[in-house]
Amino acid sequence: MVVLAAGPPIGTLLEARLPTHILGQYSLIVAGGALIGGRLARGRVAPSTAAPALLAAILTLGFWFLPRWIDASLADPAIRAAKVASLACLAGLPLGWGWTQAGPVLRGFLVANAAAMLTIMGWLMRVVPSRLCNAYLLSDQHLLANGLLIAAGTLLAVLLVPALTGSASDAGPASRRSASQSQRHPAE
Amino acid sequence: MRAGLATFAVAAIGSAALWWGTDGGGALTSEAARRLNIAAAPRGLPDATLHDQSGAELALSDYRGAPLVLEFVYATCPDICLALGTAFEQLDAILPEDARLVSISFDPQDDTERLGWFAGRHGATAPRWRVAGIADEAERAALIARAGVVVIPDRRGGFVHNAGLYLVDAEGRLTAVFDPDDTEGLRAALTGDAR
């Protein structure tokens, strides 16, 4: 998935427009890394690694959301390679690992913060009158802003609907472990 | 405890990376980074053969010895280049007599007639203010790249580009880039440090 999103011709096609670059290519690369991270975390119980892993993913994504580095990745093949590698290994992989290890509170905190950050970025991209990226048109910036706002709304729905309908469940390893312990020792 | 330490270490490394990646929080965009970089380390510009609004040919290096202000435009631009032209009109009125202005077109379609139309629209007269093209594609690309100008098609037959007023000192080094509406800042820099 990472190679497909980064290499030609799909990578070139995705990078041609700002919305597809960020929402398409970034998402595919991060998702590819997250699948590997999630698989590595399967069967392992290390909840203390969840927070640093998720923070690493957030900071890496924050770096590559900077307009300056979006431009730089298009102008310099070495920076482009660094973008692909770090989005896969420092954002996707720890995201998959950290999400698998995280409990419901940390997961909810992550989703709520991601929704807030996407809303702020989307709003900023809509109201800034000038282009933030030299390599893309202002109309592309507005399209990306809309995409980020829709993504924020989707994340909020993912967080709120199960909570409001009472179907929210805990899939974190720490709670699964404590749940299984209480089943074995109900009197304790 | 270990989780807290690990989280703190990741936060410290990530913050350092973001600090480095934004020049200490001062440059979130490549445009801001370019301006900071030029101000911190003035860069020499490659020479290029210009052809101006009257058809005369001269070299960019001919301008050495006196301060020079450049802007990058294209003659049929409907928006930002008009603002750049207006900025040059203001600079024409306030800069010292020995300073020179050159509006450089990055559009290879801009021939002498089109350059003359742009010059006439803004009252540009040589030798004080030339509107010039660069016929040689390699020279044009090298100058634009060195100045950090990014030109992309606007999907309507025109171009979109980063706009600025480029101050070049008497040694031919690009020393600063100003916003099109900051003609006073450019004048102050030119009459002070740029000489």
Question: Tell me, what's the pLDDT at A171?
Answer: 53
CB pairs under 8 A between A and B: 74
Higher pLDDT, B86 or B192: B86
Higher pLDDT, A166 or B10: B10
**CB of A166 within 8 A of CB of A42?**
no
pLDDT band at A90 (very low <50, low <70, confident <90, very high): very high
A51: nearest CA in chain B?
B7
Query: Cβ of B156 under 8 Å from any chain A Cβ?
Result: no
pLDDT higher than threshold 90 for residue A91: yes
Per-residue pLDDT averaged across B50-58, rounded?
Answer: 96
Per-residue pLDDT averaged across A63-75, rounded?
Answer: 96
pLDDT digits 0-9 by tens, B130-179: 999 999 999 999 999 999 999 999 998 999 999 999 999 999 999 999 99
pLDDT band at B120 (very low <50, low <70, confident <90, very high): very high
Q: What is the dihedral of CA B143, B119, B55, B76, to 10 degrees?
A: 70
**Residue of A59, A87, A120 for testing the chain B interface, max B β-carbons within 10 Å:** A59
Question: Tell me, what's the pLDDT at A186?
Answer: 43
- Rounded to whole angstroms, how far apart are CA atoms B130 and A154? 55
DSSP state of A47: G
pLDDT higher than threshold 60 for residue A174: no
Question: Tell me, what's the pLDDT at B193?
Answer: 52
pLDDT band at A169 (very low <50, low <70, confident <90, very high): low
pLDDT band at A162 (very low <50, low <70, confident <90, very high): confident
A75: nearest CA in chain B?
B150
Reading the block at residue A157, the tokens are 């729905």
Per-residue pLDDT averaged across B59-80, rounded?
Answer: 95
Question: Tell me, what's the pLDDT at B192?
Answer: 79
Counting other chains too, the contacts that B40-46 makes at CB distance below 8 Å and 24 or more residues apart are B42/B169, B42/B173, B42/B174, B42/B175, B42/B176, B43/B146, B43/B173, B43/B174, B44/B171, B44/B172, B44/B173, B44/B174, B45/B143, B45/B146, B45/B147, B45/B168, B45/B172, B45/B173, B45/B174, B46/B139, B46/B142, B46/B143, B46/B146
Query: Cβ of B162 under 8 Å from any chain A Cβ?
Result: yes
Task: Indicate yes or no: CB of A52 within 8 angstroms of CB of B3.
Answer: yes
pLDDT higher than threshold 50 for residue A183: no
Percentage with pLDDT > 70 across chain B: 98
Task: Indicate yes or no: CB of A136 within 8 angstroms of CB of B28.
Answer: no
Per-residue pLDDT averaged across A49-72, rounded?
Answer: 96
Q: Please give, rounded to a whole number of angstroms, the shortest distance from the CA of B58 to a CA of chain A.
A: 30
pLDDT band at A49 (very low <50, low <70, confident <90, very high): very high
Per-residue pLDDT averaged across A145-162, rounded?
Answer: 92
Question: Comparing C-alpha atoms, which of A139, A140, A109, A123 is closest to residue A23?
Answer: A140
Task: Indicate yes or no: CB of B21 within 8 angstroms of CB of A69.
Answer: yes
Per-residue pLDDT averaged across B19-30, rounded?
Answer: 95
- Rounded to whole angstroms, how far apart are CA atoms B150 and A72? 12
| Helices A93-101/A50-64 angle, 10° precision | 150
Question: Tell me, what's the pLDDT at A168?
Answer: 63
Task: Indicate yes or no: CB of B28 within 8 angstroms of CB of A66.
Answer: yes
Task: Indicate yes or no: CB of A55 within 8 angstroms of CB of B7.
Answer: yes
Question: Tell me, what's the pLDDT at A182?
Answer: 45
Task: Indicate yes or no: CB of A56 within 8 angstroms of CB of B14.
Answer: yes
